[in-house]
């Protein structure tokens, strides 16, 4: 588990360095390439949940990347996380983009994190 986390942190760091390098050049082609690589990174880490959110929706509301659950190997963790992704989908579909919607999504991701931790909990 620690090696997987370390690999994800390393991949994220590499992606951010790459994106910053290409964004600094300021060309539309470089920007598009950086965004495409960001989408690939999200897919590789499981953060992009294809049936729930499009890459464009994640670009517009980056908090959506935290509702991915397909990367979770434990079915109990996926089961704890999936209802929150569905709720986020409902929020995106039915509420207008505004500060309160953003706050709702941020609080929902906090609740999802707590639910996943609860599913991992083991009594001492």
Query: For position 71, what pLDDT does the model report?
Result: 83
C-alpha to C-alpha distance for 113 and 97, rounded to whole angstroms: 23
Query: For position 50, what pLDDT does the model report?
Result: 42
Query: For position 115, what pLDDT does the model report?
Result: 94
The label of the residue with tokens 């706050």 reads 103
Residues (pLDDT < 50) of the chain are 45-50
The label of the residue with tokens 């079915």 reads 75
Determine contact, residues 66/48, Cβ cutoff 8 Å.
no
Encode pLDDT of 79-104 as tens digits.
999 999 999 999 999 999 999 999 99
| pTM attached to this predicted model | 0.59
C-alpha neighbours within 13 Å on the C-beta side of residue 93: 9
Q: What is the largest CA-CA distance in the chain?
A: 56
């Amino acid at each position: 588990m620690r090696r997987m986390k370390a690999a994800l942190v390393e991949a994220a760091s590499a992606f951010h360095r790459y994106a910053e390098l290409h964004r600094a050049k300021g060309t539309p082609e470089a920007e598009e390439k950086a965004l495409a690589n960001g989408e690939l990174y999200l897919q590789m880490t499981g953060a992009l949940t294809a049936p729930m959110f499009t890459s464009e929706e994640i670009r517009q509301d980056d908090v959506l990347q935290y509702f991915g659950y397909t990367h979770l190997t434990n079915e109990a963790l996926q089961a704890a996380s999936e209802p929150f992704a569905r709720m986020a989908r409902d929020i995106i579909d039915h509420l207008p983009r505004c500060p309160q919607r953003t706050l709702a999504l941020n609080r929902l991701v906090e609740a999802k994190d707590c639910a996943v931790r609860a599913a991992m909990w083991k009594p001492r």
